Amino acid sequence: MSPGGARTRRVLSTRAALTAAALVAVFALSACATGAVSAGPTSHRSTPHRMTPTPRPPRPTPSTVPTPSVLGFDKTAQSIDDPASPWVVVNKSRGLNPLDYVPADLTYPDVPNLNDQPMRQATAAAVVDMFHAGKAEAGLDFSVQSAYRSYESQTRVYDDDVAHNGQAYADTDTARPGHSEHQTGYAVDISAVPANCSLAACFADTAQGRWLAANAWRFGFLLRYPADKVPVTGFAFEPWHFRFVGVPLATELHRAGVTTLEEFFGCPGGTEYH
């Protein structure tokens, strides 16, 4: 080999090494880790009016369900602290701000509603769409068992649970006022029609419970308190409790196989109040 040829090989080898050394790692930061958007708006009370829910969005299909970007899902796209945000994370470690928050757009969906309770407009539109799909696809009927509860209503529910079962037990299945998802207007307790295992763990084994567990994500809902995540969420298994988070986030959770907001956003949770 000529000296010139040897020099050429050495130059090419050096360039390849420099190119390999220039590679960088990409990492993601969770919304909780970065302290993204906090402090909810000032509370203002409003009286829910009966109104026709906003037009229902079309049921998600493979062509309408958002596909996560190749760069990853943006966990900072909406606030996890603002109680008006559908991504708000509220649990025993994270109370609402303010504690007596009241949603501004409460309405009543045109579906069976046992306790005649309102919910946010986005939640109502998604509930109607989901109930219609359950009927059309599986011949199933559903009812809203519980939806929005005010700070005062949650106080009564919690105090009644304590009076009947003691505080230790009450804290496993009823949120303290200011720490309840129902107060956001984004949570819905769903029961079967005719009633079967309402507000009981056996609801998971009903046809309605199985259909919801498999399909609720398509309409923007998350089964909020899974049986295997009690140490994370702080609450006992509630197969009837579904939380509206919007189709994009629900789709990403389903795609990623993550079943709690705490784990997805890297937020504190747990069984103790803070």
Q: For 129-180, how does the pLDDT look when each residue is reduced to its tens digit (9 = 90+)?
A: 999 999 999 999 999 999 999 999 999 999 999 999 999 999 999 999 999 9
187 bridge partner residues: 243
Boundaries of every domain in the chain: 28-265
Give Dmax over CA atoms of the chain in angstroms: 94
Is the pLDDT at 59 greater than 60, yes or no?
no
238 is catalytic: yes
Q: Based on the number of CB atoms within 10 Å of its own CB, is 137 exposed (0-12), middle (13-18) or buried (19 or more)? A: exposed
Q: For 179-190, how does the pLDDT look when each residue is reduced to its tens digit (9 = 90+)?
A: 999 999 999 999
Q: Which CATH architecture has domain 28-265?
A: 2-Layer Sandwich (3.30)
pLDDT of residue 34: 44
Residue 223 CA, chain-centre distance (Å), reads 8
- Of the chain, the percentage scoring pLDDT greater than 70 comes to 74
pLDDT of residue 30: 43
Give the pLDDT band of residue 72 (cuts 50, 70, 90). Answer: confident
Rounded Cα gap, residues 84 and 82, in angstroms: 5
Average pLDDT, the chain: 83
pLDDT of residue 267: 96
Among 181, 238, 252, 262, the active-site one is 238
